[in-house]
Structure 1
C-alpha cells in the first residue's frame, strides 16, 4: 500500500515528517493557557493592591483619553487613575512587591 501525502489518518507513517510552524511548548490548548495567564495576572494585581473597575463612556471621551495618554506617555488606565487621584485628592497607597 502506497503512502499518500495528504493521508493523515495513519500518523505512524508521518511521525518523522517535519510539520510547518512553531513547535508546541505547552500541552495545554490556547484557551486553557489564556485562562491560566488571566488568573495569574489577577493574582499579581491583587497582591499589588489593585482593584478592577469598569465604566462605560462615549467614544469621544475614549478618543480624548487616548490622545492625552499618548501625549503624557501613559497608558489610558494610568491616565484615568491619575485623573481620579487628582480629582479625589487622595494619594495612592504604595505597596512593595
Structure 2
C-alpha cells in the first residue's frame, strides 16, 4: 500500500512526521491556560480598582446597548459604565436641589 501525503486516515504512517502549525510554547493544557489567564485578568482588574457586576437584561435592550456602543465606538461595558455614572450624577443633582 502506497502512502500519499494527503492521506491522513492511516495515522500510524505519519506518526513521526512533524505537522506544520503554531509551535507549542506553553507546557500547560489549553483548559488550564484559560484558567490561569482568567485568574491573572481578575488580579489586574482588582489592582486597577475594577469590580465585576453581573447583569441580566432583555434581549431587545441588549441589542440597543450593542448598537449604541458600536455607534459611539465604545465597548458595551464602557457604555454601561458611562450611562450609570451619568444617571448617578443626575440623581445627585436632583437630590441636592430638593
- Smaller-chain TM-score bracket: 0.7 to 0.9
Give the structure, 1 or 2, with the largest relative contact order (CA under 8 Å, sep 6 or more).
Answer: 1
Which residue of structure 2 lines up, in the alignment, with residue 7 of structure 1?
12
Root-mean-square deviation over aligned CA pairs: 1.8
TM-score (ref. length: structure 2): 0.75
The DSSP-based 3-state class of the residue aligned with 1:51 is coil
Structure of greater Rg: 2
Structure in which a larger fraction of residues adopt helix: 2
2 CA distance for matches of 1:61 and 1:18? 50
Task: Compute the displacement of 1:51 (Å).
Answer: 0.4
Q: Aligned partners of 1:39, 1:87: CA distance in 2, in Å?
A: 32
Gaps of 5+ in 2: 1-9, 91-98
Hey, what's the Cα distance between the residues in 1 that align with 2:64 and 2:22?
40
What is the TM-score when the length of structure 1 is the normalising length?
Answer: 0.75
Tell me, yes or no, if structure 1 residue 53 matches structure 2 residue 53: yes
- Aligned partners of 1:43, 1:6: CA distance in 2, in Å? 43
> SS of the counterpart of 2:80?
helix
- Per-residue deviation, 1:21: 2.3
2:30 matched residue in structure 1: 30
